[in-house]
C-alpha cells in the first residue's frame, strides 16, 4: 500500500512516519510538507534512508502540485496532519489557519475523490468541542458532543471536520476523523507548553504560565496517538469519528512544576503572565469508542512519558537549539538547493 502523509516534517506527522516505517515495512510512505516554521526536515533525516520513503516539499493548498503527486503515486490512504497548529499564532493572524486547515483539506479531498483513495483520514483535535468547566469533572467529550469552538485555530479544524463529513455524505468519499487530546513527546516544536518550558528551564529563563495556570489539558504520549491513527486507517469504520485520549488530565502549573523538579530548577522561574484570550479551561476526552471498537488503549503513563520526553530534549539539544536560533530553516536549502537547481 502507498500511504500519503501530509505534514510529516512536523511533530505528530514525523512520529507517525517513523511508526509506519517500523511497523509496516511493506508499505510505501510518501510525505509532503510545506516546511513552514513548524516543519523541520532534519526530523526526517533517518526516514530519508528508507527506500520505501519519499519526501516532497509541497503546500497542500497547491492544487496542481497535489493532483500531480496523486497522479504519480496513486495513494491508497491519505493521512492529513498538515496544519497550522498553534492557538496563540491563530489569535495573532487567523488567515493562514483558514487557508491551510480548511482549503488545504478541500484540495486533498478533491484529489482523493478523483484518484479513488480507499481512505482519507483527517487528523483533528479535541479542541473542536470547545471547553469543559473545571467544576464538572464528570463531563467528558464524546464523539456526539456538539462542536463549539473558541479560537481561530479550533474553528478552522472544526470547519475542516464539517467539510470531511460533507465529502463523505455527498460524494461518498471513504473518510475517517480522529480527535485527539494534547500530545507530548519527541520532536514537538518548542513553542508548545512542554518543550517550551524544558528549553526555558535549561536556559534558566522565566517559565511563562498563562494566568493562574489552572487550565486543564488531557495529555497523551505522541506514540499512543500515532498507534491509534494506525488502527483507525486500517480497521476503522468509514464515515466515523474516533476520540483519542488517555484520561490524563493535568493542570498547566503542575506540569511546569514537574519539569522544574526533573531538571533540578527552582520554581521561582515560574512567571505568571497575561492570560491567553478566550483561553479554554478544560479538555477531557472519553475514549470509550476507540477502546470498544478497535481495542486501543494508551500504553505510556504520563509519569513515564514526561521523563522520557525530558530526557529526549536533553539528548537532542542540537535539534531544538537550532530551531530556536532559526538555523534549521536553512537545512532544506543546504540539502536540496543544488539538487533542485540541477533538476531544472
Ligand atoms: P506541527 O505544527 O508540529 O506540524 C504541522 C506540520 O504541517 C509542519 O511540518 C508544517 O510545515 C506542515 N504544514 C503547515 N502548513 C502546511 C501546508 N499548507 N502544506 C503542507 N504542509 C504544511 O503540528 P502537530 O502538533 O504535529 O499537529 C499535527 C496535526 O495534529 C494537526 O492537524 C493538529 O491540528 C493535530 N493535533 C495536534 C495536537 C497536539 O497536541 N499537537 C493534538 C490533536 C491534534
Ligand atoms: P499549548 O501547548 O499551546 O496547547 P493548546 O493551547 O493547544 O492546549 O498550551 C497548553 C496549555 O498551556 C494551554 O492551557 C496554554 C498554556 N500555556 C502556558 O501557560 N504558557 C505557554 O507559554 C504556553 C505555550 C502555553
315 located within any domain: no
Tell me the β-bridge partners of 120. Answer: 78, 175
Predicted local distance difference test score (pLDDT) of residue 298: 98
Burial of 142 (0-12, 13-18, 19+ CB in 10 A): middle
Between 324 and 200, the higher pLDDT residue: 200
Above 70 in pLDDT, residue 331? no
Distance CA 9, CA 288 (A): 30
Q: How many CB atoms lie within 10 A of CB 202?
A: 17
292 located within any domain: yes
Exposure b/e, 313-340, CB count within 10 A at least 16 = b: beeeeebbebbeeeebbebbeeeeeeee
85 located within any domain: yes
Average pLDDT value over all residues in the chain: 96
Q: Domain containing 133: what range?
A: 2-185+220-247+280-301+329-343
Task: Indicate whether this model's pTM tops 0.95.
Answer: yes
DSSP E strand boundaries for the chain: 2-6, 28-33, 53-57, 77-80, 119-125, 175-180, 183-184, 207-210, 216-218, 220-221, 241-244, 249-251, 270-273
pLDDT band at 337 (very low <50, low <70, confident <90, very high): low
Is residue 87 lining ligand 2, measured as CB closer than 6 Å? Answer: yes
Longest dimension (CA), the chain: 62
Considering its fold, how many domains does the chain have in total? 1
Q: What is the mean pLDDT of residues 206-216?
A: 97
Q: Write down the H helix ranges in 24-86.
A: 63-73
Distance CA 50, CA 29 (A): 10
Above 70 in pLDDT, residue 332? no
Q: What is the mean pLDDT of residues 4-15?
A: 98
The atom of ligand 2 lying closest to the CA of 182 is: 8
Distance CA 289, CA 295 (A): 9
337 located within any domain: yes
The atom of ligand 2 lying closest to the CA of 197 is: 22
CATH number at residue 25: 3.40.50.720
Lowest-confidence pick of 20-34, 80-94, 103-117, 316-330 = 316-330
199 located within any domain: no
Q: What is the mean pLDDT of residues 329-336?
A: 68
The per-residue pLDDT for range 26-56, each reduced to its tens digit, is 999 999 999 999 999 999 999 999 999 999 9
Confirm whether 126 is a catalytic residue. Answer: yes
The per-residue pLDDT for range 220-246, each reduced to its tens digit, is 999 999 999 999 999 999 999 999 999
The per-residue pLDDT for range 126-160, each reduced to its tens digit, is 999 999 999 999 999 999 999 999 999 999 999 99
pLDDT band at 324 (very low <50, low <70, confident <90, very high): confident
35 located within any domain: yes
Burial of 133 (0-12, 13-18, 19+ CB in 10 A): exposed
193 located within any domain: no
Distance CA 76, CA 74 (A): 7
Question: How much distance in Å is there from the Cα of 33 to the middle of ligand 1?
Answer: 10
Active-site residue (options: 42, 59, 84, 127): 127
The atom of ligand 1 lying closest to the CA of 61 is: 18
pLDDT band at 327 (very low <50, low <70, confident <90, very high): confident
Testing ligand 2's pocket by substitution, the residue of 217, 248, 256, 272 carrying the most ligand atoms inside 8 A of its CB is 217
Question: How much distance in Å is there from the Cα of 83 to the middle of ligand 1?
Answer: 4
The atom of ligand 1 lying closest to the CA of 127 is: 43
Q: What is the mean pLDDT of residues 301-326?
A: 95
267 located within any domain: no
Is residue 196 lining ligand 2, measured as CB closer than 6 Å? Answer: yes
Distance CA 281, CA 273 (A): 16
Active-site residue (options: 153, 221, 242, 328): 153
| 77: its cell numbers | 490512504
Give yes or no for a contact between 206 and 271, defined as CB atoms under 8 angstroms apart: yes
The atom of ligand 1 lying closest to the CA of 59 is: 19
Give yes or no for a contact between 258 and 306, defined as CB atoms under 8 angstroms apart: yes
Q: Which of 155, 222, 226, 190 is nearest to 316 (CA)?
A: 190
Predicted local distance difference test score (pLDDT) of residue 326: 81
Give yes or no for a contact between 248 and 281, defined as CB atoms under 8 angstroms apart: no
Testing ligand 2's pocket by substitution, the residue of 92, 192, 250 carrying the most ligand atoms inside 8 A of its CB is 192
Return the sign of the alpha-carbon dihedral for residues 298, 225, 252, 141.
Answer: negative
Question: How much distance in Å is there from the Cα of 307 to the middle of ligand 2?
Answer: 19
The per-residue pLDDT for range 158-196, each reduced to its tens digit, is 999 999 999 999 999 999 999 999 999 999 999 999 999
Active-site residue (options: 42, 59, 84, 126): 126
Question: How much distance in Å is there from the Cα of 334 to the middle of ligand 2?
Answer: 33
Q: Report in angstroms the alpha-carbon separations of 334 from 15, 130, 317, 320.
A: 24, 42, 21, 18
Radius of gyration of the chain (CA): 20
Is residue 208 lining ligand 2, measured as CB closer than 6 Å? Answer: yes
pLDDT band at 70 (very low <50, low <70, confident <90, very high): very high
Amino acid at each position: 500500500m502507498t500511504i500519503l502523509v501530509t505534514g510529516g516534517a512536523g511533530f505528530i506527522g514525523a512520529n507517525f512516519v517513523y511508526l509506519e516505517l517500523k511497523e509496516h515495512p511493506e508499505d510505501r510512505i510518501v510525505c509532503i510538507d510545506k516546511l513552514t516554521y513548524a516543519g523541520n526536515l532534519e526530523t526526517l533525516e533517518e526516514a530519508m534512508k528508507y527506500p520505501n520513503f519519499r519526501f516532497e516539499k509541497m503546500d497542500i493548498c497547491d492544487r496542481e502540485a497535489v493532483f500531480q503527486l496523486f497522479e504519480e503515486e496513486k495513494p491508497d490512504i491519505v493521512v492529513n496532519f498538515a496544519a497550522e497548529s498553534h492557538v496563540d499564532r491563530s489569535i495573532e493572524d487567523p488567515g493562514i489557519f483558514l487557508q491551510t486547515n480548511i482549503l488545504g483539506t478541500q484540495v486533498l479531498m478533491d484529489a482523493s475523490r478523483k484518484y479513488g483513495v480507499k481512505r482519507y483520514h483527517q487528523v483533528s483535535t479535541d479542541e473542536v468541542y470547545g471547553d469543559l468547566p473545571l467544576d464538572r469533572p464528570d463531563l467528558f467529550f464524546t464523539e456526539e458532543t456538539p462542536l463549539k469552538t473558541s479560537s481561530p485555530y479550533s474553528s478552522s479544524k472544526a470547519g475542516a471536520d464539517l467539510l470531511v463529513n460533507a465529502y463523505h455524505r455527498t460524494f461518498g468519499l471513504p473518510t475517517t476523523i480522529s480527535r485527539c487530546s494534547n500530545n507530548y513527546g519527541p520532536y514537538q516544536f518548542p513553542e508548545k507548553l512542554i518543550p517550551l518550558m524544558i528549553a526555558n528551564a535549561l536556559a534558566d529563563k522565566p517559565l511563562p504560565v498563562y494566568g493562574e495556570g489552572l487550565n486543564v489539558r488531557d495529555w497523551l504520549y505522541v506514540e499512543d496517538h500515532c498507534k491509534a491513527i494506525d488502527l483507525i486507517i486500517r480497521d476503522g469504520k468509514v464515515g466515523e469519528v474516533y476520540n483519542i485520549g488517555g484520561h490524563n488530565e493535568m493542570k498547566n502549573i503542575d506540569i511546569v512544576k514537574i519539569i522544574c523538579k526533573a531538571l533540578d530548577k527552582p520554581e521561582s522561574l515560574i512567571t505568571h503572565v497575561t492570560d491567553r484570550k478566550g483561553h479554554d479551561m478544560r479538555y477531557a476526552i472519553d475514549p470509550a469508542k476507540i477502546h470498544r471498537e478497535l481495542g486501543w488503549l494508551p500504553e505510556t503513563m504520563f509519569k513515564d512519558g514526561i521523563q522520557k520526553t525530558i530526557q529526549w530534549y536533553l539528548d537532542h539539544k542540537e535539534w531544538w537549539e537550532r530551531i530556536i536560533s532559526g538555523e534549521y530553516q536553512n537545512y532544506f536549502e543546504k540539502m536540496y538547493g543544488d539538487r533542485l537547481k540541477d533538476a531544472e
